[in-house]
Amino acid sequence: MATPVSESAVGTADLKTVRELAAQLRVDSVRSSTSAGSGHPTSSMSAADVLAVLVARHLRYDWDNPEDPANDHLIFSKGHASPLLYSVYKAVGVVSDHELMNGYRRFGERLQGHPTPILPWVDVATGSLGQGLPDAVGVAIAGKYLDKSPYRVWVLCGDSEMAEGSIWEALDKAAYYKLSNLVAIVDVNRLGQRGPTEFGWDMDRYAKRVEAFGARAVVIDGHDVDAIDAALADAEDASRPTVILARTRKGEGFSEIADHEGWHGKPLPADMAERAIAELGGERDLRVRGPVPAADQPRPEPIQRPAITLPRYELGAKVATRRAYGQALAALGARTDVVALDAEVSNSTYAEDFAKAYPDRFFEIFIAEQQLVATAVGLSVRGYVPFASTFAAFFSRAYDFIRMAAISQVDIRLAGSHAGVEIGADGPSQMALEDLAMMRAVGGSTVLYPSDATSAAALLEAMADLSGVSYMRTTRGAYPVLYGPDEPFAPGGSKVLRRSDGDTVTLIGAGVTLHESLAAADTLAAEGVAARVIDLYSVKPVDAATLLEAARATGGKIVVTEDHYPEGGLAGAVLSALDDSGLALNVRHLAVRSLPGSGTPTELLDAAGISAKHIVDAARDLLR
């Protein structure tokens, strides 16, 4: 092996140093993955020249101060190329060679198989392909429209993920919002996991697609350092988003495997790794840093968080919780960190109330739910408080983005309206009947289902300060206000609306089924049966103490009613809370158990077996 080289270049390295850096990145990608016994060295080697030029000459980043809001952002959409990213971190001096060689892909270490924000230089978790670029759109929107700062957002994409529709949603919205601060670099190395990619090295086809979506396409040789440098410099002066299509070879630098199939995701055996390192000129210990943001570069204005005056609702007045969502969101907009997004249904979700009050902090994402969630993720990266709304059913399209948001440990707030059979004549394609289960399954999530306008407004305000992914399910129809304007609500709580010392059965509902449960309780009371009624507005976390108290008081006799399929919704939350209670439970679970059709809300609730009369029948059955 060659004698190790030790150099330091602070500021802008010359191209000779950049070439040495690219070789070092390849060597360290091989070393780290071989040491770990797993990883993607060949996918890292193809993009090493591009990253060397970017990090040494164009990325304005203070590595000692990753929280500087003026820093550029670097997002690895092709997160499997983590050996390259971690080798960059070694080259800039924030990760040691010891950690690179002994901490990569090891239990309990921070250099995980795909990057996560456990590292302070990582904005979002990547590895589920097609998500880094959409997330970057959110970061770039924040930079251009909210921070009003000249930082740039650089994204490394793989050519395989160009088959993902989310990539094209991202480019479409990037062009719509004229995100000239966004630069995507596509590593077109021709080979995917099992063989050639869809378009191989057909650079013209890639370029035509990029241009068709309104971005600027630049085709280069991804191993020509001079061409890379010129393209990156040119992108910094562009007037629209730039996509640099870099033609590369997978495994570049080691002739035994370069552009050979069958090496995706495979570390080199020790003997091959030794030959590869020798061919690349041996190990190096370069320390190279590029430019940093100027001291006088604009930073975001301080956030203003005045006291919020929520809308107040008269007891008994009929108000839809989706209407209360819009009104409360507009009130919450007095905080300058609150941002709203919608998927072209803001006149139904009532996010339009916020849009009218704060048009500079409202972003229309149109019918692109994956990009809706990704934009919220990117805004959260920049410290904003995003609320994203659409019909509840359509969040299922973006579920992978939602689960990845949890892995990214970002704070986003989602609001799904028009849930359940209660929506009426639109039919089953519009009826979210899986959303509570879907959102409950997300790690660390909060799931809220208010039953009236007062609780919806109060819970929305609470969501603004929640960590992780939070979700509010709102109802289409208008139902009576149940609570006074000063009634407190908090995630993890519930409300007991009917209670007596003689309660013999517990009725549990949320949203529309709470109102049906109250009607059922009135019918039972007329028959001399006292029923306890619980508003389970917090589905996750659930109020286990109140549920346990009610179960004990009513001899374990419980009716849970939900406008949702049986799996994973309210009953799932209730039964999991009581699982270790030791009580003998006798539960009737009323849920939507067959495919609904069109009809009036009254017809559909009754047909599904979740209306008041069915709750009464279930309670009577328990008490026989």
Residue 421 CB contacts under 8 Å (≥ 6 apart), including other chains: 431, 433, 563, 592, 596, 601, 604, 605, 607, 608, 610
The full set of domain ranges for the chain reads 8-289, 318-480, 495-623
SS3 state of residue 535: strand
Topology at the third CATH level for domain 8-289: Rossmann fold (3.40.50)
Is 421 in contact with 395 (CB distance < 8 Å)? no
C-alpha 7, offset from chain centre: 40
Task: Give φ, ψ of 483 to 5 degrees.
Answer: -125, 145
What does the pLDDT read at residue 337? 97
Q: Tokens standing for 495?
A: 């409300």
Is 574 in contact with 547 (CB distance < 8 Å)? yes
Residue 288 CB contacts under 8 Å (≥ 6 apart), including other chains: 7, 8, 9, 13, 17, 18, 21, 55, 56, 91, 92
Helix (H) or strand (E) holding 373: helix 369-381
Residue 493 burial (CB count, 10 A): 19
Half-sphere exposure of 546 (CA within 13 A, CB side): 23
The residue annotated as part of the active site, out of 20, 283, 369, 434, is 369
SS3 state of residue 124: coil
What does the pLDDT read at residue 298? 86
- Short-list 467, 474, 133, 173, CA closest to 323: 474
E strands, 334-406, where?
Answer: 338-342, 362-364, 385-391
Under CATH, which architecture does the 495-623 domain have?
3-Layer(aba) Sandwich (3.40)
pLDDT tens digits along 538-593: 999 999 999 999 999 999 999 999 999 999 999 999 999 999 888 999 999 999 99
The answer, yes or no, to whether the previous bond of 302 is cis (omega within 30 of 0) is: no
Residues recorded for the chain: 624
Task: Return the residue matching tokens 């939350």.
Answer: 573
E strands, 147-196, where?
Answer: 153-158, 182-188
Is 378 in contact with 138 (CB distance < 8 Å)? yes
In CATH, 318-480 is 3.10.560.10? no
Q: Tokens standing for 159?
A: 């050519």
- Short-list 215, 227, 107, CA closest to 157: 215
C-alpha 321, offset from chain centre: 24
Task: Give φ, ψ of 410 to 5 degrees.
Answer: -95, 165
SS3 state of residue 346: helix
**In this structure, what DSSP letter does residue 342 have?**
E
The question of whether 369 is a catalytic residue gets the answer: yes
- Short-list 461, 476, 484, 450, CA closest to 314: 484
**In this structure, what DSSP letter does residue 419 have?**
B
- CA 318 → CA 128, 216, 328, 498, distances in Å? 44, 51, 16, 20
What's the burial of 275, exposed, middle or buried (CB within 10 Å: 0-12/13-18/19+)? middle
User: Apex CA 271: angle with CA 267 and CA 272, to 5°?
Assistant: 55
- 495-623: same fold as 8-289? yes
Q: How far apart are CA 555 and CA 403, in angstroms?
A: 39
pLDDT tens digits along 76-132: 999 999 999 999 999 999 999 999 999 999 999 999 999 999 999 999 999 999 999
Residues in the chain with pLDDT values less than 50? 1-10
In sequence order, which ranges of 37-118 are alpha helices (DSSP H)? 41-46, 48-53, 82-92, 97-103
